[in-house]
Amino acid sequence: MGSMKGFYEAKSKTNKIMGWGTGFKSDIYISRVDVKNAEQANEMRNECQEVIEDYTKTLIGLAMATPVRVGEESITDLVNSIKFEVSECVESIIEQAVKNYQLQLYVDSMSEQ
């Protein structure tokens, strides 16, 4: 699986509220994109869902496809190429699902304020 370093960073700023304790305002940064509000986060969640659906369709296509060797390609090479394609799809789906979940947490936290 690829590195998630830099994928998600959260920065919190505190605001003092007299007599009521401390309030928190969070800004969220996902893939170096500053999420300004819940509406933008929901748009990004929709994009994540579309990417997940595209990769899911690719996986279904790979499952249904009849493997065909090209030229001198060995069975091992064919299996490895299919394995690589599946691995890339699954990795991308996981990354998008994590991003989607983080954005949902952000939307939830904004609705609680």
13-24 pLDDT, tens digit per residue, is: 333 344 455 555
Angle at 1 between CA 53 and CA 34, to 5 degrees: 65
Among 100, 103, 87, residue whose Cα is nearest residue 55: 87
What residue numbers bound the domain in which 45 lies? 36-112
Domain tally, the chain: 1
For residue 30, being part of any structural domain is answered with: no
Provide CB contacts within 8 A for 11, sequence distance 6+: 26, 27, 28, 29
For residue 58, being part of any structural domain is answered with: yes
CA distance 30 to 91: 17
Comparing 25-39, 46-60, 99-113, the range with the smallest average pLDDT is 25-39
Per-residue model confidence (pLDDT) at position 35? 82
For residue 95, being part of any structural domain is answered with: yes
How many other C-beta atoms lie within 10 A of the C-beta of residue 27?
13
CA distance 105 to 34: 15
Per-residue model confidence (pLDDT) at position 32? 59
Residue 66 has pLDDT above 80, yes or no: yes
Per-residue model confidence (pLDDT) at position 46? 96
For residue 91, being part of any structural domain is answered with: yes
For residue 50, being part of any structural domain is answered with: yes
For residue 14, being part of any structural domain is answered with: no
Q: Averaged over 31-40, what is the pLDDT? A: 78
Q: Rounded to an integer, what is the distance from CA 104 to the centroid of its chain?
A: 11
The mean of the pLDDT values for the chain is 78
Percent of the chain with pLDDT over 90: 46
Helix, strand, coil percentages (3-state) for the chain, rounded to 5, are 60, 20, 20
For residue 61, being part of any structural domain is answered with: yes
Per-residue model confidence (pLDDT) at position 14? 35
